[in-house]
Amino acid sequence: MSETDAINVSNIKKSYKDFTLKDVSFSLPKGSIMGFVGENGAGKTTTLKAILGLIRIDDGKIEVLGSKTGELNNTVKEQIGVVFDGSYLHDSLNVHYVNIIMKNVYSNWDDKVFADYIQRFELPKKKIIKEYSRGMKMKLAIAVALSHHPRLLILDEATSGLDPMIREEILDIFLEFIQEEENSILLSSHIISDIEKIADYVTFIHKGQIVFSENKDNLIYQHGVVRCRKEEVQNIDRSMVAGIRENSFGAEVLIRDKEAFERRYHQFTAEKTSIEEIMLFISRGKERL
């Protein structure tokens, strides 16, 4: 594992009766945010659980903050903040008792930081968690994750189901968090607009396999979409094609290297694309990256 990586996942495998992770590999550089994307059932949560040592992998290697998963000591564990989809705190607790419990869980728990987040998120101090909205519960989980001074945040659908204003507020918190150069975030999300807004890298998992793990800006800049007649697709060099979609009006072709394509094919124009469109080409198109 490079000293510049917060997470390194190398060729991990995990088989279930009806699903398999196959040779999953990617690295999260320190000081960056990686969006971890894929359709439901693609393997995102399974991969995150493997990284955290919550499930045992069949093969491969995972290192987190310089230590192998499964050998993480308490010092390393305390440097990891985790938020899964849904609250893991008991419904009968209020903010006061959450603070007391977490103070006994984390040696580096910071009462003041927690109180500041509670105030910033405008969370009611006397209400029990059962009376919180989904948005409030997610804000509380994020406040807990950030209040023990982690160096790494692992977030599974932390913004899903929230209204746009709350999501915007939470994304700003994440961007503040990585202003510290040693801090890093792995964010699993279905909301591609959130990923495009804050991520430095994007890793796309499809049917248990990593399709790409790349710098976000390079990914968007290098790829483009050509719209043409179906018969014209046959004239395009397949090595330049990342995906094809056909409809009743013609064809759309996802191009790997937009600039190289336009130098070679002057008759076509490769339009700008997006992370979401790239994913749709790969998961539903006729060809893959």
**What's the pLDDT tens digit per position in 124-174?**
999 999 999 888 888 999 999 999 999 999 999 888 778 888 889 889 999
Question: Do 265 and 148 share a structural domain?
Answer: no
Block residue for tokens 């397949």: 238
Question: Do 153 and 62 share a structural domain?
Answer: yes
| Residue 147 domain-assigned (yes or no) | yes
The pLDDT tens digits of the residues spanning 91-112 come to: 899 999 999 999 999 999 999 9
Question: Do 99 and 239 share a structural domain?
Answer: no
What percentage of residues in the chain have a pLDDT greater than 70?
97
- Which domain, by its residues, includes 65? 5-214
| Residue 156 domain-assigned (yes or no) | yes
How many domains are contained in the chain? 2
| Residue 131 domain-assigned (yes or no) | yes
User: Residue 67: helix, strand or coil by DSSP?
Assistant: strand
Question: Do 133 and 243 share a structural domain?
Answer: no
Please report which confidence band the pLDDT of residue 1 belongs to, taking 50, 70 and 90 as the band edges: low
Q: Reduced to 3 DSSP states, what percent helix, strand and coil does the chain have, rounded to the nearest 5?
A: 35, 30, 35
Question: Do 230 and 190 share a structural domain?
Answer: no
Question: Do 200 and 65 share a structural domain?
Answer: yes
Question: Do 248 and 179 share a structural domain?
Answer: no
Mean pLDDT lowest among 98-112, 198-212, 239-253, 274-288: 274-288
Q: Are 274 and 37 in contact (CB under 8 A)?
A: no
The pLDDT tens digits of the residues spanning 181-199 come to: 899 999 998 888 899 999 9
Residue at a domain's end among 214, 247, 270: 214
| Residue 19 domain-assigned (yes or no) | yes
Going by C-alpha positions, the residue among 90, 53, 84 that lies closest to residue 69 is 53
Question: Do 143 and 12 share a structural domain?
Answer: yes
Question: Do 184 and 150 share a structural domain?
Answer: yes
| Spatial distance between the Cα atoms of 236 and 252, rounded to a whole number of angstroms | 12
Residue at a domain's end among 197, 214, 231: 214
Tokens found for residue 40: 């439901």
| Residue 289 domain-assigned (yes or no) | no
Question: Do 197 and 280 share a structural domain?
Answer: no
pLDDT for the residue numbered 41: 86
Full-model pTM? 0.90
Rounded CA Rg of the chain: 21
Please report which confidence band the pLDDT of residue 289 belongs to, taking 50, 70 and 90 as the band edges: very low
Domain of 68, CATH number, reads 3.40.50.300
Going by C-alpha positions, the residue among 100, 94, 276 that lies closest to residue 199 is 276
Question: Do 268 and 165 share a structural domain?
Answer: no
Please report which confidence band the pLDDT of residue 2 belongs to, taking 50, 70 and 90 as the band edges: low
Residue at a domain's end among 214, 238, 265: 214
pLDDT for the residue numbered 288: 44
